[in-house]
Structure 1
Amino acid sequence: MENINHVFVYVDADACPGAVRDEIIRYTDQVKIRFVATYNHYSADADQSLWTFIDDGSEACDLFILNKAKQGDLVITQDIGLASMLLAKGVYVISPRGKEYNQDTIETSLSFRYLYQQERKKGRFHGGPKKVTEEDLKSFSNLLSKFLT
């Protein structure tokens, strides 16, 4: 990374756990950070210099981030589909659990996502993702720190 001050960190914030958001905020003096969420997640207490709230829509945040992120930026998201499109643009992508997405493994991740979707349609899986653990948070913090240094 040539100049970290020109890098943006975009956060797909609709599904980003609070502990992860808190960890990201620790780096606001080093990089430009933009949390992106729909108005469903609006809070009057949110620091407007860090947050962008957009209209509802199942892919609204994804499209906003996809259109704004540039090569060399970092995006934090749980969305594997978004990650695959961003990787094609030369954007670095990590999950809130500390997993780095890359071109070598994204096809496998997309395949698993498809299989899980098929199983959910059959009623075999319920609920959302598991809560972020302390180990997940540590992995995320280490990866984010590595990226920013």
Structure 2
Amino acid sequence: MTDIVIHVDADACPVKDEVYKVALRHELAVNVVANSFMRVPQHRLFTRVTVAEGPDIADDWIAERSGPHTIVITSDILLAERCIKVGARVLSPKGKPFTANSIGQAVATRAIMEDLRGMGEQTSGPAAFKPADRSNFLSALEVEIQKLKRGR
């Protein structure tokens, strides 16, 4: 087993089963973090972490335990930014890597959309999750694991 750990921001994460399969293949620990009970397969590699209700409690747990040997799965842009700052690798459930080069634009876009909604503007939410997204996620997760195993 390596010291690579995967943290899953589990609320509404559509790729938890894929994370479990890949983690088993690579013998990686997985923390499934949510503020309510979440079913997690019984295995020594998998830990369900139920945090208190409240804004950003799950995000705080994940960010505080992330670092250079961590892969974080989240669609939360602000959590992604926090994790990148401490050296973690971050993937969206659709397989899009958040990087130090791309996170600034993602945060800015999020802020603009939030401002528009605050002014009463109707905005569309994120695109629906598609079968191709699942495949993209699996490929991206494998790439990140291999990079960490090679020390890059």
TM-score class, shorter: 0.7 to 0.9
Match of residue 41, structure 2, among 47, 51, 60: 47
1:130, distance to aligned residue in structure 2 (A):
3.7
What 5-or-longer segments of structure 2 have no aligned partner? 147-152
1:126, distance to aligned residue in structure 2 (A):
5.8
Q: Is this contact kept in 1: 2:32–2:40, CA < 8 A?
A: no
Which residue in 2 is equivalent to 1:138? 135
Partner SS, residue 27 of structure 1: helix
Which residue in 1 is equivalent to 2:61? 64
Match of residue 77, structure 1, among 61, 74, 77: 74
Task: Write the mapping of 1:1-149 to structure 2, written as runs, cut at 5 A.
Answer: 5-17=2-14, 20-29=15-24, 30=26, 31-39=28-36, 42-43=37-38, 45-47=39-41, 49-125=46-122, 129-149=126-146
Instruction: Tell me the alpha carbon deviations over residues 107-132 of structure 1, each in whole angstroms, 9 at most, x when there is no partner.
Output: 11110000110122223236754431
**Mean alpha-carbon deviation: is it higher for 25-34 or for 46-55?**
46-55
1:77, distance to aligned residue in structure 2 (A):
0.6
Deviation >2 Å, runs of 4+: 45-50, 122-131
Letter of the aligned partner of 1:138 in structure 2?
S
Identity, in percent, stands at 27
> What's the TM-score once normalised by structure 1's chain length?
0.86
Partner SS, residue 22 of structure 2: coil
Instruction: Tell me the alpha carbon deviations over residues 69-118 of structure 1, each in whole angstroms, 9 at most, x when there is no partner.
Output: 12221001111111111111111011001110111111111100001101
> What's the TM-score once normalised by structure 2's chain length?
0.84
Q: How many residues align?
A: 141
Q: Is this contact kept in 2: 1:10–1:35, CA < 8 A?
A: yes
How far apart are the structure 2 equivalents of 1:108 and 1:28? 30
